[in-house]
A and B are shown apart, each in its own frame.
Chain A
Amino acid sequence: DQQVKQNSPSLSVQEGRISILNCDYTNSMFDYFLWYKKYPAEGPTFLISISSIKDKNEDGRFTVFLNKSAKHLSLHIVPSQPGDSAVYFCAASDVRTGTASKLTFGTGTRLQVTL
């Protein structure tokens, strides 16, 4: 039962354009969401997060949008740079309960930013 889904395994975007990565979840108990970036043979690096009490959070070139009614979140990267090429994972947590430490991850989207 995949509670967090990233339906696009890969995405190719030109340098300077917007990258939009999508994530859907099924568990309505999730109230905190994170995006991680991962290079091969390295651990995931935290990018940005959002609490369910918000619908948008911005940090530099990265913006995360949350649509609770649709159980959907997206990560926007503007402008995209070649160094953004990596695998992006969305993750969800229920921070209200004792299981906050258990992140549920999607299967990842490989972003390639071309010149």
Chain B
Amino acid sequence: KAGVTQTPRYLIKTRGQQVTLSCSPISGHRSVSWYQQTPGQGLQFLFEYFSETQRNKGNFPGRFSGRQFSNSRSEMNVSTLELGDSALYLCASSLEGSPSNYGYTFGSGTRLTVV
């Protein structure tokens, strides 16, 4: 079966702009979680969407938002981009959101560079 698909793979934006990233989960998975990876910080949890509702949220400012559609595809939006938002953004899909079900699978990520 197809894996988790993230688009685009690479993106360059200017400070102050906004950006939207997309994540298509594995078919049948209803949970999508988003992470930010920056050098030295590991992966940091942004938020999780389950059945079109945000169910969990990390410690990021309100400039970071997301949504999930009825087909479980999810989008993440960052407004008023800052240089520090440059990172690899990863999404992970799972059946119900729990990693203990062995279905917590990551996509290849979107590399965002803010200049």
Contacts and interface: CB of A to CB of B under 8 A. Distances in A.
B24 interface: no
Interface in B40-94: 40-45, 48, 50, 55-56, 58, 88, 90, 92, 94
B97 A51 contact: no
B92 to A, nearest CB: 8
A44 B106 contact: yes
B56 A101 contact: yes
Contact of A43 (B4, B41, B55, B100): B4
A66 B68 CA distance: 36
Nearest to A44: B106
Interface of A: 4, 32, 34, 36, 41-46, 49, 51, 89, 91, 93, 95, 98-108
Given A32-B100, A103-B33, 15 more contacts: A41-B111, A42-B109, A43-B6, A43-B90, A45-B106, A49-B99, A89-B43, A91-B99, A95-B100, A98-B56, A101-B99, A102-B58, A103-B45, A103-B104, A105-B43
18 contacts: A32-B99, A34-B99, A36-B106, A41-B88, A41-B109, A43-B90, A43-B92, A44-B106, A49-B100, A51-B100, A89-B42, A93-B98, A95-B100, A99-B56, A101-B50, A103-B35, A103-B45, A107-B42
